[in-house]
Structure 1
Amino acid sequence: MLCFAYGSNMSTQRIAARIPARFVTTALLPAYRLAFHQQGDDGSGKCDIVPASDQSAVCGVVWEVASHHKLTLDRYEGLSTTYDETWLTVSDLAGDGQFEVQAYVGKVTSIGMRPYTWYKHHLLAGARERGLPAAYVRALERIEARLDPDTEHHAREMVLHGLDAPLERGA
């Protein structure tokens, strides 16, 4: 099955730490915007996609995932408790066609949420790795992040990218 990742799962290292997946393409989801109002179990803001009436669009990565691995990803994403599942049509960024994809949409939202710096790092790593449009990456860079008070968790997440990074403000 094809899954559309628009948050931390855009990063090859992040998705590989969870399940095997094969990169298919980068894609655009028109008439949606990215939001960080999905409340994570850790109290931080996670990515969500929200319908938008303007010219907004969300860029992301399409992964091919075996059905038995999709069940594992569902557990990581908190399917049915934190996120619901939907089917959407995305367009290949190279203009080579459209794909019907599964995506997660938030169901536990809260205004004023911000991601942790390590989560933002996963997001940016995936966007840069897959060559998302420069303007989109710049918009992601401007997202305000906060430090994870659990420094060990921060370190574990950063190690996925081969980094032994100190805590960074707003990284």
Structure 2
Amino acid sequence: MPVLRNLARRAKDHSGTTVNIPLRTATVESTDPVKQRDVSEIRELEIEILAGDILAATISKFAAIFARFDTVVGCAGFSAGRNMPMKFAKAALDANLKRYFPWQFGVDFDVIGRGSPQDPFDAQIDVRDLLRGQDKIDWVVISTGMFTSFLFEPIFEVVDLENNVVNALGSLDTEVSLTTPADA
């Protein structure tokens, strides 16, 4: 939502610029109060909702959707699964976008390197390798610092409250900066 808010605000300064977001029909029609609040805010921001399921869509389906736009900002995040960042990156290349911002917010995955305890980080390095190996589209990585809330997500195995353990990202010498999504 912070990315959407800022993109919508900036779009108002540029005539003809629109912001769109793919959302599952189940999300748009949900009775869950949190989802209703987010969908309502998206509409108030004049962001067009594109009905679809990012988890079910193929690379070619995404490429067809992406081809309508000059720029795509990937914000699906880790909760969409380990393969989603690569799926988006391949679709961005197939769509021949002008600019692509892959979901790379957070730590600098190149600094942490491959083989860290956080398997999703290797997927992010795979995306960078794919994008570095081409000259078809411009792409940008935004390293904002790891979102503070992620430290406590079990999937990342950084802070394991249940076992009273803290694991280093990369190695004990790897420095990590933190931020909140609102500040990103």
TM-score of the alignment, normalized to the shorter chain, above 0.5:
no
Q: Compare CA radii of gyration and give the structure with the larger one.
A: 2
Q: Which has the higher contact order (CA 8 A, sep 6+)?
A: 1
TM-score, normalised on structure 2?
0.30
Write 1 or 2 for the structure with the bigger share of helix.
2
